[in-house]
Amino acid sequence: MTSNTLHFTPALPCVDCLELTTLGLIYPIRSQAWQLLPLCERDIDKPASEEEAFSSIADLQQLVTHHLQVIHRLQRKRRHLTHMYLHLRRQHAHHKARRALRIGLNRSYRRQAQVREEGLA
């Protein structure tokens, strides 16, 4: 898991020395969850010359919002495919039609898992 340096307000106590700080690291836990770790400047072992992946909180919020939109869109598509598959199955439709929907459903599961992994990376 990668971490990003972040400036935030209000000041929180550092996890090592308990001094108030506005610096910290943010870690992705899941695609929809992040963990903030407040640290003093001396505790952050990241080189100063390295560019941050997110220049501001707005960039991070935009990325998280985009990932959530993609996940919700995939979930809607998956529910639609599931509904269509079950409808065809109840009607004893031809196995080729059911197979095509089942393949689409499996693809949507894989794509959603891929988007979630990208959010964690």
How many CB atoms sit inside 10 A of residue 10's CB?
A: 6
Angstrom distance (rounded) from CA 121 to CA 119: 6
**Domain match, 98 and 76 both:** yes
Proportion of the chain above pLDDT 90, given as a percent:
0
**Domain match, 47 and 80 both:** no
**Domain match, 64 and 43 both:** no
**Domain match, 8 and 39 both:** yes
**Domain match, 42 and 68 both:** no
**Domain match, 42 and 89 both:** no
Contacts 24+ apart (CB under 8 A), 78-82: 78/105, 78/108, 78/109, 78/112, 81/105, 81/108
Residue 115: which domain range? 55-121
How many structural domains is the chain composed of?
Answer: 2
Q: What pLDDT was estimated at residue 114? A: 79
Range from 5-9, 24-28, 46-50, 91-95 carrying the lowest mean pLDDT: 46-50
**Domain match, 60 and 44 both:** no
**Domain match, 78 and 44 both:** no
| Tens digits of residue pLDDT in 41-59 | 776 764 443 344 566 777 7
Residue 120: which of 34, 9, 43 has the closest Cα?
34
Stated pTM of the model: 0.41
Question: Phi and psi of 14, rounded to 5°?
Answer: -65, 145
Q: What pLDDT was estimated at residue 48? A: 42
